[in-house]
Every structure is written in structure tokens, then in C-alpha cells.
């Protein structure tokens, strides 16, 4: 009888644990997931801003982080000033015998500002933005740059991403499988958290607004 009671208590405890895990497990998973997504998104935004600055100066996107960091360390934005002006249109004046004018847009270069000061305001976090900012994860974001052709015009594109399997490596595997299959306006769709695209002109992130703005 004592053995039977002991086995019954073991079964009750085991069942209680399973019930507890079924209720609390998803809550804990979502808490960890959101914390890690938010930290990673902050880095993805820094990388995107750096890439957009790189494109502004060079006309393309950087294909690796060494190149991107070196650019931030050394490059400058050109500061310009636009002003309207008008000059005599000699051709029209000659044609009609009346002084005619044509409008001009004049762009003056008035100086430069370091890219790193413009983007990071004295912070050096750009030197580590390529690292996954999660304790226990020794990995970097994947980044690629390329060109796509639209209407016979070559347009630069880039993509930076990290697999959910990497971000949530130590979490419940069944819940991780479900997370990889998410299709929702309130979730991160697909198997990766990412910004940009290699197949279309898009520099947005794939996270929902609950994690902050996903566009520029």
C-alpha cells in the first residue's frame, strides 16, 4: 500500500509539473524571446543606419562588417546648401528680343561632418554592432550586399539576419519550432530576425511595431 501511495504521489507531482510547464513555459519563453529580440533589433537598426550612410557616400552597400566599420571610422558626410538663382537665358533673349531669365538650383558645399559623429554621437557601439548581443551566444549577424536590376537599372540591396534558432538556442525546442512557423502581424514571421532584402528594394525590418519601428 505504501509503495502504491508513493507511486501515486510521484504521478501527481509529475502531472502537476507538466501542467505547470504547459502554462508557465510559454510565458517564460515569450519573455526571453522578447528581451532577446529587442536587444538584437537595436543592433540591426544600427547596422541599417550604417549601411544607408555607406550607400549615401559610395552608391552601394558594404558586403562585410570590416568594410562597414572602417567606413564609419574614416568617412565624412558632405554638408550642402541649396539655393535658387536665375540667369539671363541668352537663347530665349536672342530669339524674342526680350530679356528672358531661367531658374537655376545651385548646390554649395559648406563643409563635412564625420559619419561616426552623425550616426553615433561619440558612442563606439558600432564596433560591436555585428555581434549577437545575447549572453552565451558567440556569433555574428549574417550580412550580404548585392545589386538587383529593375527597369534596366542596377539598384544596391543588402540583408542582415540572425536565425531564431541562434537567438533562442537554450529555450524549449517545441516552442522554438512553433516560433519558427509564426505567420502573424504581431510576430516575427519566418525563421530569421532580419532587416533588408536581397530580392527586393527594401530596408525595413521584419519585426512588428510592438518591438519598435521597423522602417527608416
Q: What's the pLDDT at 99?
A: 72
Report if pTM > 0.85: no
Per-residue confidence band for 49, with pLDDT thresholds at 50, 70 and 90: very high
What's the pLDDT at 91? Answer: 74
The answer to whether residues 107 and 154 belong to one domain is no
Asked which of 52, 84, 115 is the last residue of a domain, the reply is 115
Alpha carbon distance 145, 198 (integer Å): 7
- My answer on whether 68 and 139 are in the same domain is yes
Quote the domain boundaries for residue 43: 29-74+121-211
pLDDT band at 175 (very low <50, low <70, confident <90, very high): very high
Q: What is the pLDDT of residues 79-125, one digit of tens each?
A: 656 666 666 667 767 777 767 666 666 655 656 788 999 999 999 99
Q: Give the tens place of pLDDT for each residue, 69-78.
A: 999 999 987 7
Render pLDDT for 185-204 as a digit per residue (tens, 0 to 9). 999 999 999 999 999 999 99
187 in the same domain as 139: yes
Same domain as 84, residue 70 = no
- Is the pLDDT reported for residue 11 higher than 60? no
Task: Kindly state whether residues 53 and 81 are assigned to the same domain.
Answer: no
- How many CB atoms lie under 10 A from the CB of residue 68? 23
Number of domains comprising the chain: 2
Cell numbers at residue 46, please?
A: 544600427
DSSP string, the chain: -HHHHHHHHHHHHHHHHHHHHHHHHHHHHHHHHHHHHHHHHHHHHHHHHHHHHHHHHHSS--SSHHHHHHHHHH-EEEEEEEEEEEEE-HHHHHHHSS--EEEEEEEEEEEEEEHHHHHHTT--GGGTTTB--STT---B-EEEEEEEEETTEEEEEEEEEEEHHHHTTTS-HHHHHHHHT---TTS--SSEEEEEESSSS---BSS-GGGS----
pLDDT tens for each residue of 118-152:
999 999 999 999 999 999 999 999 999 999 999 99
Amino acid at each position: 500500500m505504501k509503495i502504491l501511495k508513493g507511486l501515486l504521489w510521484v504521478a501527481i507531482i509529475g502531472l502537476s509539473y507538466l501542467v505547470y510547464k504547459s502554462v508557465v513555459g510559454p510565458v517564460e519563453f515569450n519573455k526571453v524571446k522578447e528581451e532577446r529580440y529587442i536587444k538584437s533589433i537595436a543592433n540591426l537598426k544600427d547596422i541599417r543606419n550604417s549601411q544607408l550612410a555607406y550607400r549615401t557616400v559610395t552608391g552601394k552597400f558594404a558586403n562585410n562588417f570590416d568594410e562597414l566599420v572602417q567606413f564609419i571610422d574614416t568617412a565624412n558626410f558632405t554638408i550642402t546648401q541649396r539655393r535658387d538663382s536665375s540667369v539671363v537665358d541668352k537663347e530665349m533673349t536672342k530669339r524674342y528680343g526680350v530679356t528672358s531669365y531661367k531658374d537655376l538650383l545651385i548646390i554649395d558645399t559648406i563643409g563635412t561632418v564625420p559619419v561616426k559623429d552623425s550616426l553615433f554621437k561619440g558612442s563606439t557601439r558600432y564596433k560591436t554592432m555585428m555581434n549577437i548581443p545575447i549572453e552565451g551566444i558567440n556569433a555574428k549577424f549574417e550580412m550580404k550586399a548585392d545589386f538587383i536590376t529593375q527597369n534596366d537599372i542596377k539598384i544596391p540591396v543588402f540583408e542582415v539576419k540572425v536565425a531564431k534558432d541562434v537567438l533562442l538556442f537554450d529555450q524549449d525546442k517545441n516552442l522554438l519550432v512553433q516560433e519558427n512557423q509564426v505567420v502573424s502581424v504581431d510576430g516575427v514571421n519566418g525563421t530569421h530576425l532580419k532587416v533588408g532584402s536581397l530580392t527586393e528594394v527594401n530596408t525595413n525590418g521584419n519585426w512588428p511595431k510592438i518591438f519598435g519601428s521597423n522602417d527608416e
